[in-house]
Chains A and B, each alone.
Chain A
């Protein structure tokens, strides 16, 4: 039902007042620097002195040069995989936890809720280092063998086939609290009468969830998906802490975030000469990919609500 508007609604000029502080900070400290840096995507060279305009040269090089191409598509693919694992493990589990935690007759909910959120309060660097130690066979290998758990003493983070999955799961472990919390809030906002009505109709838990609760929290689900999507495409810290900037082993954990850092800001170790223009080009492409994912998702979930 469209909201009724009447002649007492203030005109745009009134609302602009409310928006001024936000616009002030946002434009000066985010929009303008970002746009200026995106502009760099059309240039080459690292300092104002050595900069020169090359049009779409960076983009062409990114997709035609052998090394650049493999690195980019590799990072792109890995980021999608990372996002998938996060969606499945983090958000589905988060939903499950939220459903469990909003069950009114269950005891100990507050304790569980508190515990679920604890890893989210840590810095990514802290979790990264911690899990790096935990997954290191040199540290616990002998003890595990003694405990007859020798099969766990594998080089999880050193093996190309398991490294990315492990890093993604570490990220889930850390951020699980946020979707859980938001789903709990959303589920609690569902009016009691809807649930009662479903109960009276004789629906079981599963049906109640799918046909009553889930549609009502769809906007929140959409929001969480979008936030996960965006954060995964910018993920950098977790790989930086558990592996290194190159996305070891053999670029298996290279994400768009690490690729950008390596090319645009730090430069390939140990040479250390970045290519700011190329980095900006990568960032621009990422931006459009994100827009392409977020806008349809927003439209879909907003309309349903």
Chain B
């Protein structure tokens, strides 16, 4: 390989270039830093960079150093600001992005009682909630207050040390029934959250369409199917339910209906202990019921999402919608009369309602303001607090506290009235069988699509029970 011996002048040039470059850089740095400080427009700077290619590189290096200084500088100012005031700001995390308006009203009402505490409601979208909450808790940057999921999910976060022990919050153990406390209670009796709201499940129906077709509320499952049949023959889609979002068909329809077929809480524990099998005749009948209603769902229900269902009901394209009480607010301005009735049980069985404890609020065990957070939770356990909370809850959420609270909305009261004289239970899989949520969900969807028989569906879920 040929080698070239360069004259010494070139070699010296090399080192000189390097030294000269460092000097140039230093002066440019000072110059630009001063200009930026006076001009104060980082964005403009950056835009200028794009157009001036040859000076681009120089500005880039300067910007980088400037930003590192800025980051350190910014940190300093934030700290000084916090220590200046006495006001306490708490953050509340939640998955209910739909409730921003109402929660802000509720928190404003609390502010009247505790003026120096400002609680900010910062919800995350439901699909992202679990993951982001987890990450934030893991790195000690979670919100001060947050919604707690019930049973296993909440217990796991408590075991990991993220939720504070709420057992000794004044009013908690005394103002709620045992069954209302249970979803947020550890096996040893400690509470990890304050129960906040429960939801119910029922069939929304279009009163006008029913009247026009001379239909009345069905009292048995068989009558329900014949109502659907009559509606379909009249050219109206009977049910608005779809399976695209997957969770709604399980949580609202199947689990809302299951207590009718297998019984309430007292029967559920038999399934949990293994005394009764998950593929017994009652369960098979339940899956079969889902298969039977599939033909009454909209054409192309495989693609109908939860929101689409609401639209179908709202535009009167579908006469009924089996859904949870939390969407009652959506139909507030409906142009037609609507009501709710309980999902009827098959002939000879008793109708039971799935009244599910859905939300509780807890505090972060690593919060920097435990006193203020605890005070808020204690307020929720008092009569005044719970009443104010209920007044501001979105329609379809029901307070779980012992006190008699009258709700304003007629439809909300309609929902509550359904509970009268019926056994209630939480959603079947929630207390102890959450691992079966996904398989059961898939089984219900497959059965509705006609891909498997009801018996096979029940067997597939039963096989996975440990």
Contact = CB atoms under 8 A, between A and B. Distances in A.
Interface string B311-326: 1100000000000000
- Candidate in A7, A245, A272, A274 with the most chain B CB atoms within 10 angstroms: A272
A274 B300 contact: no
B434 A138 contact: no
A136 B308 contact: yes
Contacts of A261: 131
A138 B304 contact: yes
A229 interface: no
Contacts of A265: 131, 134-135
B6 interface: yes
Interface string B205-246: 000000000000000000000000000000000000011111
A273 B303 contact: no
B195 interface: no
Interface string A235-275: 00000100011101111000000000100011111111110
Contacts of A7: 3-5
Interface in B110-145: 127-131, 134-135, 138
B1 A244 contact: no
Nearest to A264: B131
25 contacts: A6-B3, A8-B10, A67-B464, A137-B299, A141-B299, A153-B300, A158-B304, A159-B303, A240-B127, A244-B246, A245-B127, A248-B244, A249-B246, A249-B445, A251-B442, A261-B131, A265-B134, A266-B130, A267-B131, A271-B437, A272-B130, A272-B134, A273-B153, A273-B156, A274-B130
Interface in B1-19: 1-6, 10
A111 B242 CA distance: 42
Given A271-B434, A274-B134, A138 B160 contact: no
B1 A4 contact: yes
A37 interface: no
Given A136-B308, A270-B153, A272-B153, A49 B446 contact: no
A244 B445 CA distance: 15
A153 B243 CA distance: 17
Interface string A263-301: 001111111111000000000000000000000000000
B311 A270 contact: no
A155 interface: yes
Contact of B300 (A67, A138, A251, A269): A138
A5 interface: yes
A206 B160 CA distance: 65
Given A153-B300, A250-B442, 20 more contacts: A4-B2, A5-B1, A46-B160, A47-B138, A49-B160, A137-B303, A139-B308, A155-B302, A156-B303, A158-B242, A158-B302, A158-B304, A245-B127, A248-B246, A249-B445, A266-B130, A268-B437, A269-B247, A270-B149, A271-B437
B357 interface: no
Contact of B445 (A49, A250, A267): A250
A138 B308 contact: yes
A135 interface: yes
B160 A47 contact: yes
A157 interface: yes
Contacts of A156: 303
Interface string A207-249: 0000000000000000000000000000000001000111011
A74 B173 CA distance: 48
Contacts of B434: 270-271
A273 B1 contact: no
Interface string B84-113: 000000000000000000000000000000
Nearest to A7: B3
Q: Which of B1, B128, B134, B312 lies at the interface centre, i.e. has the most chain A CB atoms within 10 A of its CB?
A: B134
Interface residues of A, number: 43
A155 B434 CA distance: 30
Interface residues of B, number: 47
Given A249-B244, A249-B302, A6 B446 contact: no
A154 interface: yes
Interface string A60-85: 00000001000000000000000000
* Interface residue SS majority, chain B: helix
B305 interface: yes
Interface in B412-463: 434-435, 437-438, 442, 445-446
B303 A274 contact: no
B152 interface: yes
A131 to B, nearest CB: 12
Interface in A108-163: 132, 135-139, 141, 153-159
Interface string A25-61: 0000000000000000000001101100000000000
Contacts of A270: 149, 153, 247, 434, 437
Contact of B161 (A5, A49, A248): A49
Interface string B292-305: 00000011111111
B465 to A, nearest CB: 13
A67 B2 CA distance: 65
A136 B149 contact: no
Given A136-B305, A273-B153, A246 B246 contact: yes
A249 B243 contact: yes
Residue of A155, A158, A270 ringed by the most chain B CB atoms within 10 A: A270
Contacts of A153: 300
B409 to A, nearest CB: 27
B8 to A, nearest CB: 12
A141 B129 CA distance: 33
Q: Which 8 A-B pairs have the closest CB atoms?
A: A158-B302, A155-B303, A272-B130, A158-B303, A266-B131, A137-B300, A155-B302, A155-B300
A46 B302 CA distance: 36
A272 B128 CA distance: 10
B255 to A, nearest CB: 12
Interface string B180-206: 000000000000000000000000000
Contacts of B138: 46-47
A69 to B, nearest CB: 14
